[in-house]
Amino acid sequence: MARWFRRKQEDDSTESAGENTIESSQSEESSSETGDLSVENGVEPASETTSGIFTYMRSRLQKTRKTLAGQIDRLVLGKKEIDQDVLEELEEVLLTSDLGVATTQKLIASMEEKLHRRELTDADRLRIHLKDEIRRFLKVEASALDVTGHKPFVILAVGVNGVGKTTTLAKLAFRYKQAGLRVMLVAADTFRAAATEQLSNWADRVEVELVKQSSGADPAAVVYDAMAAAQARGVDVVLIDTAGRLHTKVNLMEELKKVKRIISRQMDTAPHEVLLILDATTGQNAISQTHLFHQELTVTGLVLTKLDGTAKGGIVAGACQEFQIPIRFIGLGEGLDDLKEFDPEQFVAALF
């Protein structure tokens, strides 16, 4: 690991800009809000078979697979047996794939134990055990996201600016509407001038209800009105968009906690899901964001966006393992049907 840290120190100036990049990416998020609107019937396209979905996912995870599985293949190429030197090199591969230090150390410790038991006899056994361990990390014990369990079922979406919150909520609205549910979007991000307009455009395109107020309005007041309207109209699913900015801003967290309290006053079991939206391309910054949002708001589910455009997909395993929060969905493209339910089995198979 020391070798990896020496290399990482050389890149610190680039990596330290991560949070500022997130904050400055608002214009990028704004342009992506008008992305591909191609749709297919059903919550999941009916024509897609299991093998078709797997092939699609594998193609979209190409960058991460090249970084992780590709490097592992090169590492063990020609190796007749696995030894401690191979595991040290494997450790570096896992770290550069953004699994995170804690997750990597657990994986390597498990591999070392199997090596001492003579269970890692060759490269094939190494791959099998590595896949099994990553799969185990991803299988977080949690109840399924059943939006029919309450009416309305309230989902509060949080996350820093630029991660794709608004787009993700639009895709969820499309998903649930296609399932025959009555959906309401709530524009509680009243700080960013374009946020309400973006969500309004999505609501029109997906053809769902929208509750909004003027820019600068109290987000808690918007949510209060939305909850009253949803209960009066018999809405099935309420999707609440919130302000981002930086997760280190105290005022943001206090505002989000206030919004959450207002929701609970209107419906004592709500919010039924607090979804933290993370941009997979930010790598380890996503871990720090998860820590702070979970500490303040008790996050119940994760959404990893932009997995199709990054080689840092290892962050999926890192976030699951470290916080024991289930990943609900992953974003694999700009289309409305490119938000997929997360399946640990398919994900690991697609990575290797």
- pLDDT tens per residue across span 291-328: 999 999 999 999 999 888 766 778 888 888 889 999 99
Beta-carbon contacts of residue 271 (< 8 Å; ≥ 6 apart): 154, 155, 156, 240, 260, 263, 264
Neighbours of 25 (CB within 10 A): 19
More confident residue, 42 or 306: 306
Taking residues 191-203, what's their average pLDDT?
90
What distance, in Å, lies between the first and last C-alpha atoms of the chain? Answer: 23
Mean pLDDT over each residue of the chain, to the nearest integer: 83
3-state DSSP assignment of residue 244: coil
pLDDT the model gives residue 79: 78
Taking residues 27-38, what's their average pLDDT?
40
pLDDT the model gives residue 296: 93
Amino acid symbol at 255: E
Residue 55 has, within 13 A of its CA and on its CB side, a CA count of 5
Taking residues 108-122, what's their average pLDDT?
90
pLDDT at 40 > cutoff 70: no
pLDDT the model gives residue 38: 38
**Cβ proximity of 189 and 243 under 8 Å:** yes
Q: Which position has the token pair 């609205």? A: 173
pLDDT the model gives residue 248: 54
pLDDT the model gives residue 291: 92
pLDDT the model gives residue 49: 54
**Cβ proximity of 333 and 60 under 8 Å:** yes
pTM of this prediction?
0.82
pLDDT the model gives residue 50: 62
Tell me the per-residue pLDDT of 44-75, one tens digit each, with 9 for 90 and over. Answer: 433 345 667 678 788 878 887 887 888 888 88
